[in-house]
Amino acid sequence: MTTHPFDAAVTALSRNAWLPTSEEVALGKDFFHRREGLQRRLLPGMPACPDPQGWVTEHVLWLEDVVGIVDTLLAAWHGYLPDSHMIALLEAYAHQARPAVPYAADLLRAWEAEAFESCSVEEAGWWEEWHIPETERQALDALNQGLIPIGAMLVTAVERGAAAV
């Protein structure tokens, strides 16, 4: 039975069998820095959401951007750290978030098909209710719940590696 690279990384980290190198720490820190620097993105003409949580659409677009960040970092670092547990953690994070990418494209197509140049907050809320039904919201919630433990492992790895440097 083969162990999935993510599981191997979690096991190695939890058993203190893996202490991230300075390069792995740099990669993890770069990911967090880029992710934290993401700006909220709206569909063209969509008003800002009055709720601090933002629109569901904003979160879907954010997930799309996060996947882009990870893909960029993996393209740059994979050859340099091919067997790295940090690479495995980032790959798992992107894999978990990746279903949002085609969904973001679907939402953009639906928005553009309705030719909104602008709309009210109320209209945007109705649009989301229509285009992001409860089943999709539940799937997004599950996707987000799956990101939490992977993100926690990434934080732990970065912190543990940084403390050793």
Query: CB count, 10 Å around CB of 155?
Result: 12
pTM above 0.75, yes or no: yes
Condensed to tens digits (0 to 9), the pLDDT of residues 124-140 reads: 999 999 999 999 999 99
CA distance 152 to 79: 25
How much is the mean pLDDT over the chain? 93
Domain spans of the chain? 19-164
